[in-house]
Amino acid sequence: MKIGETLLKKLNRRYEPDRMIAQKFGRYDIAMKTDAEGNPILLFIGKAGDDGMIKGDHFSRRLQKDPEGKVIKDHWDYKGKV
């Protein structure tokens, strides 16, 4: 699975820091884990079961910043099925 432009727009927003945020995205359920600044760093996308656990795909974000806080590297890596 590949992350599309519409989902990337949602992932580039800032959310509440250090939280797991669950939402609906089209026909999929998504869960995002945010870092201390509120940037999503983990993404789980698929179908949520009765217990809230998502069966689908797992993505991890590579976000590097220089000492001034400017983003040097920002991309999502596919980590496999969950």
Q: Would you give per-residue pLDDT tens digits along the chain (82 residues)?
A: 688 999 999 999 999 999 999 999 999 999 999 999 999 999 999 999 999 899 999 999 999 999 998 999 999 999 999 9
Give the pLDDT of residue 40: 97
Angle at 27 between CA 61 and CA 8, to 5 degrees: 30
Helix (H, G, I), strand (E, B) or coil at 56: strand
Give the pLDDT of residue 52: 87
The answer to whether 5 touches 12, Cβ cutoff 8 Å, is no
